[in-house]
Chains A and B, each alone.
Chain A
């Protein structure tokens, strides 16, 4: 079955960097676009970024543009999110989600928590 497993979360100081990973299995990874979506503690869902199936097209939310970079390695069935210049407001659970039958994701991982704090 479709499985997405995020990793790389943790506590990081403001201004520092962190890279998240999302390991995919159970489907042909290279055929699907993949999203990153985040959820701050006690808050709603916020779309972060999406990358096309071949990695050639990438789009970002205004709140992370210029600081975050989405990428993928289809040979490793893995999605990445490089997060630079982190701010307190980036504190959230970060989910990866497959852009399948639903535009914003039909299968989601369990999430990884990123805490930006000094």
Chain B
């Protein structure tokens, strides 16, 4: 049950687009379309941004989008805004009927 691999940090200027990667294996990310993405601001609970690789829950900005290729999933934030500065986590279902989160990425808006 190794954590999915994410870059420790990603930064961008307001209005730019950034992409966060989430790399797993064929036993998790690559094997199922059950990848989710969460945003977490300090001291708060995670908030769901994307589910099932590319679906947005009601109320989540369309500036957030998800995709997957092979064993790597990606979250793209377009039109970066100051309030997007937070930690981001991916997650996946696994072949052992368990779940695994990514290592987390800190997004900084320059």
Interface residues of A (CB under 8 A from B): 35, 37, 44-47, 50, 57, 59-63, 95, 101-111
Report Cα–Cα, A60/B94, bound state, in Å.
Answer: 12
| Chain A interface, >50% SS class | loop
Most chain B beta-carbon neighbours within 10 Å: one of A35, A47, A57, A62: A47
Given contacts A102-B57, A108-B45, 16 further A-B contacts (CB under 8 A): A44-B3, A44-B101, A44-B102, A44-B104, A46-B3, A47-B99, A61-B98, A62-B1, A102-B52, A103-B93, A103-B99, A104-B91, A104-B93, A104-B99, A105-B36, A110-B45
- Contact call A61/B1, Cβ cutoff below 8 A: yes
B97 at the binding interface (Cβ < 8 Å):
yes
How far is the CB of A90 from the nearest CB of chain B, in Å? 16
- Contact call A106/B51, Cβ cutoff below 8 A: yes
Interface residues of B in 90-110 (CB under 8 A from A): 91-93, 96-104
Q: Which residue of B lies closest to A4 (CB)?
A: B45
| Chain B interface, >50% SS class | strand
Interface residues of B in 1-59 (CB under 8 A from A): 1, 3, 34, 36, 38, 40, 45-48, 51-52, 55, 57
B64 at the binding interface (Cβ < 8 Å):
no
Q: Which residue of B lies closest to A101 (CB)?
A: B51
Report Cα–Cα, A104/B92, bound state, in Å.
Answer: 7
**B57 contacts across to A, CB distance below 8 A:** 101-102, 106
**B104 contacts across to A, CB distance below 8 A:** 44-45
**A62 contacts across to B, CB distance below 8 A:** 1
